[in-house]
């Protein structure tokens, strides 16, 4: 226990020695029981003003007694006066729980004779008496009736706190002087307050009759309670009618029959009969005898049927009193080959959280039941034995004499969500019985786990396949909830074509119960088509039955095993010394792009590498993954008048590629150099070209030279700017083809300094004539002092004919031709 410490102080001075006595004084707490009694003296030296302490140990018991007090008192002060307070009260706070106890009858039964006047029933309070307590009581009729056989009573019994004395309920018994069977009534306790209601809370009182020998008392029992058909192993049944009390004189005892068995012989469809049949009217118990037997004969039929019963009940009469027992039963056993059926008497089982517990199958046999019988069955349904329920075997045994047996189904509690499952039991044929109906029964096994959706992902475990036999692999994974079967929807895309480039994968993936990974293999189809590397892309599609996580898509690349095909063409087939403007050869390849590829080519044409254009070499390399690569032709601007020149590229045989489909490609380098001369008394510019479209203002254009309906002809830029300006021109004329028509464009000074500008046309560069009404001019003024003239020759190019345009400038009786 703990110790309480009391402090005693010396105040107001400390001169001289001082002392005081102390002692404990009992209150509700007792020294030696609740605390250790203490006494003694406290002393102070001269000048000592320190506090002194009195320690009193407390005793810890296990009895609830409430808070208790004791005191410590100071006395006999010496050298100082005794101040106030000179005593202190200590309260011990109880740490034990109160024990109110339970209230119950001392005995569950009492016997009392009719002449006993009263019966006393004792009620006890046991196990504690802390606090007040009470209980109600009342009588309840049985075969004895209140007001006839006893005085009905009710009331309340009370106990004060600490009271554990027994209480008594007293009931008066009526003495009627009539012989009758012993009778009973009960007294019940209820509404316990301040204590618990114990057991027994009901006591039965039997009133023993004291009027013996005034009348006969008749009872009945089944002295042979089990009977049976011929081969059942049982014989006849016997009811025994018993007589007590008055034994003189014959007594005709009447009775009635009930039960499931039918009265009559087998020929009449009956199950039992009496012999002679007149006994159905009653059985006489002879004078002086105490019993007589009523024999129940069993009809032997050929029908398989369950156990049946014959029930007898004694009918009241003025000649006797009906005692207890007044009712008895005989069971009839069948002797036919058993017919077995099965039902689900408890059709639902469940994991622990469902509250369903176990399920139960009941096997029933009709017919002969004297021998033990083993019945076979098969198991089906969605539940898995050993995973969803405890194994139940495949047979059940009906004990000898039993018409039925039960089989419990105990669920296995797991932590996996799954749909409720079924267990289907089906009877199988076997020795010693036939299968009846119903032969199948079903129980449900319910899940108690919360629904947690599975999480699915997909990756490419092997992301490349090839037409030579290498396969790609997609791996589908699921987590969280894996107990049930799961079908995942997928979308298959990419550049590869199912059943052409690979065996089709389908649109779903199914996980069996418990599975966390499923593999789908990409099997390429080896074709001879050069179609390059192709992809198979699998993407998970959302669904309410699962969650899609990352990665939700994966790719397998199918590598082409065919030799790549290479080609070349001119994507920009015209270069020019003016600028200079470049031309472009474009090399392409079809087939596998995984590795780099070098293509060899030859270069021919009228242009010379290193003189007319920058050398482009004789090979080009495709980087890995690239299907095109370009080679740029850059002209070298010289001062020679040499006309248009060509560069032609031809792909050479290389062994690692197929060049059979590649035609040579050509680009043209346009010259920008011209000659300036005088003739016919006028100034003109003579073309440096001899046929195809050149860069002079007088330029030949054929429709066969058109590309996509357009050809842009750039004018020579080598003319002296001062000479142009002297003719009122701000730029040299340019001839173009627009939508199949020739257009000559030039820029001139405005206002006109005194020149006339004429458009002339020729088909051979020898004979020229004015274009006249075949020319339509559009003049715009982009800035002050200058204007742009677009002269459209309205006769379209056709049929491969040649046509030339030139600009003639007339000033001071002279003409300048461009």
**What does the CA dihedral 368, 370, 374, 375 come to, rounded to 10 degrees?**
30
What's residue 682's pLDDT? 29
pLDDT in tens, 62-105: 777 778 999 999 999 999 999 999 999 999 887 777 788 999 99
Neighbouring CB atoms inside 10 A of 490's CB total: 19
Task: Tell me how many degrees the CA angle 353-355-359 measures, rounded to the nearest 5.
Answer: 115
CATH class of 339-446: mainly beta
Between 272 and 793, name the one with better pLDDT.
272
Per-residue pLDDT tens over the stretch 436-451: 999 999 999 887 666 7
Gap between the Cα atoms of 649 and 588, Å rounded: 14
Q: What is the pLDDT of residues 385-414, one digit of tens each?
A: 998 899 999 999 999 989 899 999 999 887
- Residue 304 has a pLDDT of 82
Q: How confident is the model at residue 488 (pLDDT cuts 50, 70, 90)?
A: very high
Residue 504 has pLDDT above 60, yes or no: yes
- Residues above pLDDT 90, as percent of the chain: 54
CATH topology of domain 216-333: Immunoglobulin-like (2.60.40)
Summary mean pLDDT of the chain: 85
Each residue of 617-671: pLDDT tens digit?
A: 999 999 999 999 999 999 998 877 778 899 999 999 887 888 877 899 999 988 7
C-alpha pair distances (Å), 321 with each of 134, 182, 217, 290: 42, 11, 5, 14
DSSP 414-460: -S-----EEEEEEE--BTTBEE-S--EEEEEEE--S-----EEEEEE
Q: Which tens digits make up the pLDDT trace of 689-727?
A: 222 222 233 333 333 333 333 322 333 333 445 557 677
Give which of 595, 568, 597 is closest to 583, Cα–Cα. Answer: 568
Between CA 553 and CA 457 the distance in angstroms is 8
277: three-class secondary structure by DSSP: helix
Q: What is the pLDDT of residue 45?
A: 95
Q: Which residue has the higher pLDDT, 671 or 485?
A: 485
Tell me if the domain spanning 565-670 has CATH number 2.60.40.2030. yes
Give the separation between CA 616 and CA 170, rounded to whole angstroms: 132
Indicate if the pLDDT at residue 577 is higher than 60: yes
Residue pLDDT, tens place only, 292-339: 999 999 988 888 888 899 999 999 999 999 999 999 999 988 878 889
What is the SS3 assignment for 517-585? EEEEEECECCCCCCCCCEEEEEEECCECCEEECCCCEEEEEEECCCCCEEEEEEEECEEECCCCECEEE
CA distance 458 to 552: 6
pLDDT at position 130: 85
| Dist. CA 279–CA 310, nearest whole Å | 15
Query: Would you say 643 and 694 are in contact if contact means Cβ atoms under 8 Å apart?
Result: yes
| pLDDT, tens only, 155-211 | 999 999 889 899 999 999 988 766 667 889 999 999 999 999 999 999 999 988 766
The answer on pLDDT for 749 being more than 80 is: yes
CA angle 486/491/493 to nearest 5° reads 150
Q: Which of 416, 439, 442 lies closest to 429, judged by CA?
A: 439
Which is more confident, 479 or 578? Answer: 479
What is the C-alpha separation between 465 and 472, in angstroms, rounded?
Answer: 5
Which pLDDT score, from 0 to 100, does residue 290 have? 92
Phi and psi torsions of 417, nearest 5° = -70, 135
Average pLDDT over residues 268-288: 91
Of the pLDDT bands very low, low, confident and very high (cuts 50, 70, 90), residue 124 is: very high
Nearest one of 433, 379, 446 to 407, comparing CA atoms: 379
Check residue 177 and give its pLDDT.
66
| Contact present, 271 and 295 (Cβ < 8 Å) | no
| Range list for CATH 2.60.40.2030 in the chain | 3-92, 102-208, 216-333, 339-446, 455-559, 565-670
What is the dihedral sign for C-alpha 456, 461, 464, 469? negative
DSSP 795: S
Q: Is the pLDDT of residue 344 over 90?
A: yes
Reference 160, options 135, 136, 134, 137; nearest CA is 134
| Domain 102-208: assigned CATH number | 2.60.40.2030
pLDDT in tens, 763-818: 888 888 998 888 888 888 888 888 999 998 888 766 556 778 888 887 644 444 44
| Whether 571 contacts 630, CB under 8 Å | yes
Position 65 scores a pLDDT of 75
The highest-level CATH class for domain 675-817 is: mainly beta
pLDDT band, residue 213 (cuts 50/70/90): low
Quick one: average pLDDT of 38-54? 94
Using alpha carbons, list the distances in angstroms from residue 14 to 18, 77, 83, 166, 247: 8, 14, 14, 63, 108
Q: Is 241's pLDDT higher than 80?
A: yes
Top CATH class, 455-559: mainly beta
Q: How far apart are CA 262 and CA 269, in angstroms?
A: 8
The DSSP code sequence of 671-736 is: ----EEEEETTEEEEE-S-SSS--SSSS----GGG-BTTEEE-PPP--S-HHHHHHTTEEEEEEEE
Is there a contact between 637 and 718 (Cβ–Cβ < 8 Å)? no
**pLDDT for position 302:** 82
- Strands lying side by side in the sheet with 373-380: 348-350, 440-446, 421-427, 373-380, 395-398
The pLDDT tens digits for 160-170 are 988 989 999 99
3-92 maps to CATH 2.60.40.2030? yes
Burial class of residue 346 (count of CB atoms within 10 Å of its CB; 0-12, 13-18, 19+): middle
Residues constituting the chain: 818
Within 13 Å of residue 159, how many CA atoms lie on the same side as its CB?
30
């Amino acid at each position: 226990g703990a110790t309480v410490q009391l402090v005693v102080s010396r105040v107001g001075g400390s001169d001289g020695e001082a002392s005081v006595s102390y002692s404990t004084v009992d209150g509700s707490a007792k020294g030696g029981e609740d605390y250790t009694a203490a006494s003694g003296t406290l002393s102070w030296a001269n000048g000592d003003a320190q506090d002194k302490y009195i320690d009193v140990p407390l005793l810890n018991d296990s009895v609830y007694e409430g808070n208790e007090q004791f005191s410590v008192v100071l006395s006999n002060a010496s050298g100082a006066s005794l101040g106030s307070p000179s005593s202190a009260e200590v309260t011990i706070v109880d740490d034990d729980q109160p024990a109110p106890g339970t209230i119950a009858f001392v005995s569950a039964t009492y016997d009392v004779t009719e002449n006993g006047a009263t019966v006393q029933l004792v009620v006890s309070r046991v196990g504690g008496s802390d606090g007040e307590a009470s209980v109600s009581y009342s009588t309840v009729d049985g075969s004895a009736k209140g007001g006839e056989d006893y005085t009905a009573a009710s009331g309340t019994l009370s106990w004060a706190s600490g009271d554990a004395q027994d209480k008594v309920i007293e009931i008066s018994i009526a003495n009627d002087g009539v012989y009758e069977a012993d009778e009973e009534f009960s007294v019940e306790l209820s509404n316990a307050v301040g204590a618990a209601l114990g057991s027994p809370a009901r006591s039965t009182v039997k009133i023993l009759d004291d009027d013996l020998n005034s009348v006969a008392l008749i009872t009945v029992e089944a002295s042979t309670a089990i009977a049976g058909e011929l081969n059942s192993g049982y014989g006849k049944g016997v009811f025994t009618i018993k007589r007590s009390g008055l034994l003189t004189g014959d007594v005709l005892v009447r009775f009635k029959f009930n039960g499931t068995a039918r009265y009559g012989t087998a020929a009449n469809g009956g199950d039992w009969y009496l012999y002679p049949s007149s006994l159905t009217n009653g059985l006489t118990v002879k004078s002086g005898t105490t019993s007589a037997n009523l024999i129940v004969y069993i009809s032997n039929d050929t029908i398989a049927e369950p156990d049946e019963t014959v029930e007898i009940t004694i009918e009241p009469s003025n000649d006797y009193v009906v005692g207890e027992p007044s009712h008895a039963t005989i069971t009839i056993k069948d002797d036919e080959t058993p017919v077995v059926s099965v039902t689900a008497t408890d059709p639902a089982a469940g994991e622990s959280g469902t509250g369903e517990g176990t399920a139960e199958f009941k096997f029933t046999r009709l017919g002969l039941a004297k021998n033990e019988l083993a019945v076979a069955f098969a198991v089906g349904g969605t539940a898995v034995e050993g995973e969803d329920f405890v194994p139940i075997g495949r047979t059940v045994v009906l004990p000898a004499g039993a018409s039925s047996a039960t089989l419990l189904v105990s669920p296995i509690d797991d932590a996996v969500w799954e749909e409720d499952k079924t267990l289907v039991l089906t009877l199988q044929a076997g020795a010693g019985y036939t299968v009846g109906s119903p032969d199948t029964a079903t129980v449900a096994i319910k899940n108690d786990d919360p629904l947690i959706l599975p999480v699915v992902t997909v990756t490419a475990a092997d992301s490349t396949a090839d037409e030579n036999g290498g396969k790609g692999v997609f791996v589908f994974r699921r987590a969280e909830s894996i107990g049930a079967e799961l079908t995942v929807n997928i979308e298959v895309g990419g550049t590869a074509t199912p059943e052409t480039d690979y065996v089709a994968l389908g649109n779903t993936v199914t996980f069996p119960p418990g599975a966390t990974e499923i593999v789908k293999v990409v099997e390429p189809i080896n074709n001879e088509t050069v179609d390059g590397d192709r992809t198979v892309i699998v993407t998970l599609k959302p669904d309410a039955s699962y969650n899609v996580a990352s990665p939700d898509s994966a790719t397998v690349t199918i590598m082409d095993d065919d030799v790549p095909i290479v080609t070349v063409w001119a994507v920009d087939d015209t270069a020019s010394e003016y600028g200079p403007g470049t031309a472009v050869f474009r090399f392409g390849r079809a087939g596998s792009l995984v590795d780099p590829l070098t293509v060899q080519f030859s270069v021919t044409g009228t242009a010379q590498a290193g003189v007319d254009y920058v050398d482009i070499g004789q090979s080009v390399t495709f980087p890995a993954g690239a299907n095109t690569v370009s080679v740029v032709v850059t002209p070298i601007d010289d001062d020679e008048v040499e006309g248009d020149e060509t560069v032609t590229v031809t792909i050479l045989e290389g062994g690692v590629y197929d060049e059979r489909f590649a035609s040579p490609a050509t680009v043209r380098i346009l010259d920008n150099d011209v000659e300036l001369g005088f003739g016919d008394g006028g100034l003109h510019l003579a073309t440096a070209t001899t046929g195809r479209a050149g860069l002079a203002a007088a330029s030949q254009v054929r429709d066969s030279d058109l590309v996509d309906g357009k050809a842009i002809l750039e004018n020579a830029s080598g003319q002296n700017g001062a000479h142009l300006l002297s003719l009122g021109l701000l730029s040299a004329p340019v001839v173009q083809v627009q939508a199949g028509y020739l257009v000559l464009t030039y820029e001139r000074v405005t206002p006109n300094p005194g020149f006339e500008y004429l458009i002339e046309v020729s088909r051979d560069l020898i004979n020229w004539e004015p274009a006249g009404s075949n020319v339509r001019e559009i003049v715009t003024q982009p800035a002050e002092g200058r204007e742009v003239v677009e002269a459209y020759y309205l006769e379209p190019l056709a049929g491969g004919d040649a046509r030339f345009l030139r600009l003639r400038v007339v000033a001071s009786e002279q003409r300048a031709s461009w």
